[in-house]
Amino acid sequence: MNECNSLLLKPLFSLFYQLATFYMKDTLEIYYDKSKLQIPLLIISAILIFIPFEVTDLLFKFFNHSSKFIKFFLPFVGLGLVAIAIPYYYIFLTFRFWLNRYTQKKPVLMVGKTGITEKIDFGSIGFIPWSNIQKIDSISSRGHHLVLTVKNKEEIINKFKNNKKRKKIEADFKKYGDKVLIPVKYLGVNIYSLKKYSQKKLDESNSSIHCL
């Protein structure tokens, strides 16, 4: 019974600690939630192990039962291996992508006094000051996203020197208009608490400007 109560109370204590941290710290630092990353990482790992095992098993059976026709079929076997190697390479890159997320020790999303800094993936927008944020919303469908309506999207686009990354940011603005969508599905944060805290910081920033 005690163990069951402990399992039930653990998420509540975690949520309470998260909310308390929100309001005690001047800057909210958010990390990847490793428990959310385990499933995709395990699935990709299983695929990486399964493919070589199956290919080796098929080759062993082929060379044992087709010894008379090896010379004839060998070029086709080579083409087949190349055809498998190409998608396998991209699966391996996907594995590295998820592994890098899993082993990331630095915060990937920060909400502070001066603005929001996002470093979640390749298409991350980096730092956006509160002065360039007009509105904050959230989307819980199709993965959780914090949505920032910006005043000047050109200011964000122009800060990127990398041409490939700049085109990615431009494509996102073309798709979503003046909105920046920050994915938080795999982060250790509740989307509604994050929106509430971000709105609080935006309001504080706007109030300080009006006081001046």
- State pLDDT tens for residues 15-56: 555 555 544 557 899 999 999 999 999 999 999 988 888 777
Distance separating alpha carbons of residues 97 and 104, to the nearest angstrom? 11
Q: Which residue has the tokens 């899993």?
A: 102
Q: Are both 64 and 121 inside the same structural domain?
A: no
Q: Are both 79 and 158 inside the same structural domain?
A: no
Q: Are both 69 and 169 inside the same structural domain?
A: no
Distance separating alpha carbons of residues 56 and 46, to the nearest angstrom? 16
Residue 81 has pLDDT above 60, yes or no: yes
Residue 146 has pLDDT above 60, yes or no: yes
Least reliable range by pLDDT among 10-14, 65-69, 80-84? 10-14
Among 79, 103, 127, the domain boundary falls at 103
Among 56, 73, 103, the domain boundary falls at 103
- Mean pLDDT, to the nearest integer, of 198-205? 91
**In this predicted structure, what is the pLDDT of residue 160?**
87
Question: Which of the 8 DSSP states describes residue 45?
Answer: H
Domain that holds residue 179: 2-32+107-211
Query: pLDDT-based confidence at 13, cuts 50/70/90?
Result: low
Distance separating alpha carbons of residues 115 and 76, to the nearest angstrom? 58
Q: Are both 112 and 194 inside the same structural domain?
A: yes
The number of distinct structural domains making up the chain is: 2
Q: Are both 66 and 124 inside the same structural domain?
A: no
Sign of the alpha-carbon dihedral angle for 139, 145, 151, 157: negative
